[in-house]
Amino acid sequence: MNATVVGASGYSGRQLVSLLIQHPKINLVEVTSRAYSGKTVESCIPNLRGKTKGLAFTNPSIEELSKSPECELFFLALPHGTAASYAIPLLEAGKKVIDLSADFRLLTPECYEEFYGTPHPSPAWLKKATYGLPEIHSFTWEDSPLIASPGCYPTSILIPLFPLLKDQLIEENDIVANSMSGVSGAGRTASEKLLYCERNESASAYGLPKHRHLSEIEEQLSLAVTNKIIISFHPHLAPMNRGICSTISARAKVGSTRKQVWDCWNDFYRGRKFVHLLEEGEFPDVSHVVGTNRIDLSVNHDSRTGRFIICSAEDNLLKGAGGQAIQAMNICQGYDEGEGLP
């Protein structure tokens, strides 16, 4: 299949290019970037030297991309708001789109406007998009040519919590999620607060009390039950390049045990190669998952408080972004789920 990455100068875009250019069933025909236009891919992404066959960055117009006769699939690694301006013309031209921004992740335009501060540019497509979390939702190109790839924080929280809510092993209220992200999660744009001396030996909360990803987390968790789920979500920026570690505290339903949680995960994610369950006494570690498309999970029961302490770890640029987008593409194309993924 021929594919294009639009907006490949950021961390997620560069990761996508690195994966797609080595994917055995994908022909990466175009890579766009205003900043890098005219430069070869391997000069800007040196770890791909010798693998790109002279591919260079381009800066085509939206109209030119829409009329491209050779490309069938477009990955959009663009900021929210900008992504929709590309996605809609591409979809109207009959192309398939996997969007890594937040533009099509939410279920209603009202929620989008509440959390992103602007009206949604295409409510009709918002309703037709597929939320691309493969371990929780089933989807095909026939369902929708537009896949909204989940955010990195939501992936780290939805995968452990969704089946537990569905099987009524935890209470629906009083869920608290504390997450730490590597600095790459803040993007590649130059910023004083992201300078090495500002972030090294430093960790801090941000985006409180209503981080934008909270909208996505609550909407998706609410699909597991009949009520609206509201959680406390506390993101932190940690002094590491990449990775996300989430620690979630949820009140156990009366009679629920740690074994029931582990068995629930085991049944729900049976056969899913990118969800790894840890035994009691083990805890997910970011250093163990960076460079992979895997998410590690653990659970412990705190008998003093009657709560489950649930932990997850993932690579924010792979399972939390580019890797997950390719995982969704593999499924829609009928390839093996893990084709081309570490």
The whole-model pTM stands at: 0.93
Q: Which residues contact 233 (CB under 8 A, 6 or more apart)?
A: 153, 157, 177, 179, 211, 213, 214, 217
Residue with the bigger pLDDT between 46 and 179: it is 179
| Cβ proximity of 337 and 134 under 8 Å | yes
Which whole number is the average pLDDT over 108-130?
90
Q: Which residues contact 205 (CB under 8 A, 6 or more apart)?
A: 234, 235, 236
Query: For 191-234, what is each residue's pLDDT tens digit?
Result: 777 787 787 888 899 989 999 999 999 999 999 999 999 999 99
Per-residue DSSP letters for 132-189?
--TTT----TTT-SEEEPPPHHHHHHHHHHHHHHHTT-B-SS--EEEEEE-GGGG-SS
Structure tokens at 153: 């924080």
b/e burial code for range 177-188 (CB count within 10 A of at least 16 → b): bebbbbbbbeee
Task: Give the sheet arrangement for strand 130-131, strand by strand.
Answer: 57-58, 27-32, 2-6, 73-76, 96-99, 146-148, 130-131
The identity of residue 252, as a single letter, is A
Looking at domain 2-149+321-333, which of 2.40.30.170, 3.40.50.720, 3.90.1150.10, 3.30.70.260 is its CATH number?
3.40.50.720
Least confident range from 47-61, 257-271, 320-334: namely 47-61
Q: 153-314 has which CATH code?
A: 3.30.360.10
Catalytic site includes residue 152: yes
Check 44, 152, 245, 332 and give the catalytic one. Answer: 152
Query: For 183-198, what is each residue's pLDDT tens digit?
Result: 887 776 667 777 877 8
| pLDDT for the residue numbered 190 | 67
User: Per-residue pLDDT for 50 more than 90?
Assistant: no
Domain ranges across the chain? 2-149+321-333, 153-314
Query: For 261-296, what is each residue's pLDDT tens digit?
Result: 999 999 999 999 999 999 989 999 999 999 999 999
| pLDDT for the residue numbered 47 | 87
